[in-house]
Amino acid sequence: MKYCYFYQTELGRVGIQEEGSMITHIYFDGENPPADVLQEETELLKEAGKQLQEYLAGERTEFSLPLSARGTAFMERVWEGLCTIPYGETRSYRDIAEAIGNPKACRAVGMANNRNPIPIFIPCHRVIGANGTLTGYGGGLAIKEHLLQLERQKSGQVQ
């Protein structure tokens, strides 16, 4: 069964989806899960919502949730690479490409980053352009900027 529950956060409404006891998707304001997903809060979704709120309050720097992001083998390697970016730090697309052993795949890393189904929990917001500029984000650049600023402040790297 697939379940999704929406939580009101400082980012707006955020939906978290579970399938088979794994977190599989995040939905931002204006996004909705497929019709076959039950709108019901489970124990796992309650815990994920709690951890998300703790993160947004600056009380949590890592998540301890079972995640299942499905994509191509390359995408999954990129998403695993994103999870190695420390809280409060950023990396470029090139950095991620090099970290996963494919230094010429910057553009493909960008596409995989864009298709991340579990943003925040898989921290694609920590990837920026090589020149330090913010690049696209599924939830919008305002959310990406908010998340990066939160992490900088809580890790003592205020800019």
Handedness of CA 108, 139, 148, 134 (dihedral sign): positive
Check: CB of residue 11 under 8 Å from CB of residue 120: no
If you write DSSP's letter for every residue of 113-140 in order, what string do you get? Answer: HHT-SSBTTB-GGGEE-TTS-----TT-
Please pick, among 4, 83, 106, 124, the residue that the annotation labels catalytic: 124
CA distance 78 to 80: 5
Check: CB of residue 62 under 8 Å from CB of residue 87: yes
What is the bridge-based pairing of β-strands 22-27 and 12-19? antiparallel
Would you state the structure tokens that stand for residue 6, as one six-digit string? 């929406």
Q: Establish whether 124 is a catalytic residue.
A: yes
Check: CB of residue 68 under 8 Å from CB of residue 32: no
Check: CB of residue 132 under 8 Å from CB of residue 145: no
User: Which residue's structure tokens are 């979704």?
Assistant: 45
Active site residues: 124
